[in-house]
Amino acid sequence: MNGHTPTPGRGSDEQAALWAARLEGSALSEADRSALGAWLGEDPSHAGLLESYQQFSSDVGQLLPRLASQGLLPTAPARRRRSPWLLAAGGLAAAGLALAAILAAWPGPSSESLVTTAGQRRAFTLADGSRVELNANTSLLVENGRSERRVRLANGEAFFVVSKDKDRPFIVDTPAGSVRVTGTIFNVRTQSSSDLDVTVVEGSVQVRAGSSGSLADGPVHLGAGSELTEAPGAGVRVRALGNADVDDAVAWRRGEIVLKGAPLSEALARFAHYHGRLISASPAAASVAVGGRYHLDDLDGFLSDITRSFKVRVTQEPGGAVRVSTADGR
């Protein structure tokens, strides 16, 4: 029989450690199962102790390769993964305690809150070395954990250059879905639970549905030069982009917006979000197709251009709101 069977007379913690090792290392015999049941029945706290040691064993097992690579373990990892609690069972309790001390000292999940205001773009370097650029009126909550790196983007636009870490995927959560990578360069924009735009510059990503998104058929894999868009009433669309198109998609990083036959309503929504203002279009004006390269900071210039080019009327309403309609007021 492999491993060590816990015996009477040992302390509760050591018994729990030994049972965790037995449960992980091999199948229990009938006698072992009876002994385990008897031990669990001795004290209600035993079940909780056992669960804690099993979880600890799992955590240490995940950390061993990283600790070894950083020179924090005295020997190379064993060929076959064994529970760290077998160390205690074999009389090497000090080694087990050393691992426990390392795990306790290992940094736990840390969080960062990143925010931009109207008309503001900023770049940040995260704790893991990844870089992120935020468009205006965007907020991120970054959680840097042991097993994953998670970013929550509720509303706005962000450009990510993710440092490679195959053991800790980088996940961007939005109301419309999530984007999962281990190391790549991509852009994400979202404004609602049914609105998502993902552009991959380098590497690849996996996009999954959100709680109310329409990516119901499973995750979508995107490679470099691909774009996924999800819009209300339009569903999900994936298309390949040329280098120039990829550059145009992230032109906001230079303070620009490139429009290629986009509905006027979409163009106005981009300017409205950037400036933090209410800008709307009448139904007749909303569908006008707009093209051109514009500076995001120059809202007045954009409004003047569409007034000349498309014969629309721009009305400045009380409180700073802007309303665009056709020349005849429709």
Q: Lowest mean pLDDT of 29-33, 134-138, 228-232, 294-298, name the range.
A: 29-33
At 128-181, the pLDDT tens digits run 999 999 999 999 999 988 899 999 998 999 999 999 998 999 999 998 889 999
Mark residue 242 as left, alpha or beta (left: phi above 0; alpha: psi -120 to 50; beta: remaining): beta
Whether pLDDT at 103 is above 70: no
Task: Say what the pLDDT of residue 1 is.
Answer: 44
DSSP H or E run through 245 = helix 243-249
* Nearest to 182, CA basis, from 194, 199, 164, 158: 164
Q: Going by C-beta distance under 8 Å and a sequence separation of 6 or more, which residues neighbour residue 233?
A: none
At 20-73, the pLDDT tens digits run 776 665 566 777 777 777 777 787 777 766 666 665 665 555 555 555 555 555
Residue 259 tokens read as 């429009």
- Sorted by where each begins, the domain ranges of the chain are 12-105, 110-249, 256-326
**48-82 burial by CB neighbour count: b if 16+ within 10 A, else e?**
ebbeebbebbeebeebbeebeeeeebeeeeeeeeb
Neighbour tally for 212: CB within 10 Å: 11
Residue-wise DSSP of 295-323: ETT-HHHHHHHHHHHH-EEEEE-GGG-EE
Quick check: 284 and 326 in contact, CB under 8 A? Answer: yes
Whether pLDDT at 280 is above 80: yes
CA angle 40, 58, 90 (to 5 degrees): 70
Q: Going by C-beta distance under 8 Å and a sequence separation of 6 or more, which residues neighbour residue 306?
A: 264, 288, 290, 312, 314, 324
Whether pLDDT at 200 is above 90: yes
Task: Say what the pLDDT of residue 85 is.
Answer: 47
Q: Going by C-beta distance under 8 Å and a sequence separation of 6 or more, which residues neighbour residue 131?
A: 123, 124, 125, 160, 161
Give how far the C-alpha of residue 206 lies from the chain's centroid of Cα atoms, to the nearest Å.
Answer: 11
CATH fold, domain 256-326, is Phage tail protein beta-alpha-beta fold (3.55.50)
Separation between Cα atoms, residue 293 and residue 291, nearest integer Å: 7
Whether pLDDT at 257 is above 70: yes
Which of the pair, 118 or 63, is modelled with greater confidence?
Answer: 118
Q: Given CATH 2.60.120.1440, say whether it is the number of domain 110-249.
A: yes
Task: Say what the pLDDT of residue 43 is.
Answer: 78
**pLDDT band, very low/low/confident/very high, at 231 (cuts 50, 70, 90):** confident
Quick check: 194 and 216 in contact, CB under 8 A? Answer: no
Averaged pLDDT, 86-98: 47
Separation between Cα atoms, residue 324 and residue 187, nearest integer Å: 29
* Nearest to 53, CA basis, from 85, 88, 26: 85
Whether pLDDT at 185 is above 70: yes
* Nearest to 189, CA basis, from 176, 171, 203: 176
Q: Lowest mean pLDDT of 7-11, 17-21, 144-148, 233-237, name the range.
A: 7-11
Task: Say what the pLDDT of residue 14 is.
Answer: 72
Averaged pLDDT, 206-235: 79
